[in-house]
Amino acid sequence: MSAHCQLTGAQPGFGNRISHSHRRTSRRFDPNIQRKRYRLASEGRYVRLTLSTKGIKTVDSIGIEAAVARIRARGVKV
């Protein structure tokens, strides 16, 4: 599963691990991605979305219909 949110577009950030001796090695900050299933009443079906936890809170706030409209506006097939 790719580590990006379909709604917010959150994706991994990159940086460095810094040891006690101050040596730097590459690291990756992954967003908290969850797969969540919602009932899309207007289409009479369920959709499974890959969302960050912030994206899940956004869906709870604006509703699944508006969230799917935003995802489709970004050009992602739902």
- What are the tokens at 61? 């706030």
Break the chain down into helix, strand, coil percent, rounded to 5.
Answer: 25, 35, 40
pLDDT at 32: 96
pLDDT at 1: 54
Name the phi and psi angles at 11, rounded to 5. Answer: -140, 170
User: Could you give the percent of the chain with pLDDT greater than 70?
Assistant: 99
What one-letter code names the amino acid at 3?
Answer: A
pLDDT at 2: 77
pLDDT at 15: 97
DSSP-derived pairing of the beta strands 33-40 and 24-29? unpaired
Residues in the chain: 78
Banded pLDDT at 22 (limits 50, 70, 90): very high
What one-letter code names the amino acid at 36?
Answer: K
Segment 34-57, tens digit of pLDDT = 999 999 999 999 999 999 999 999
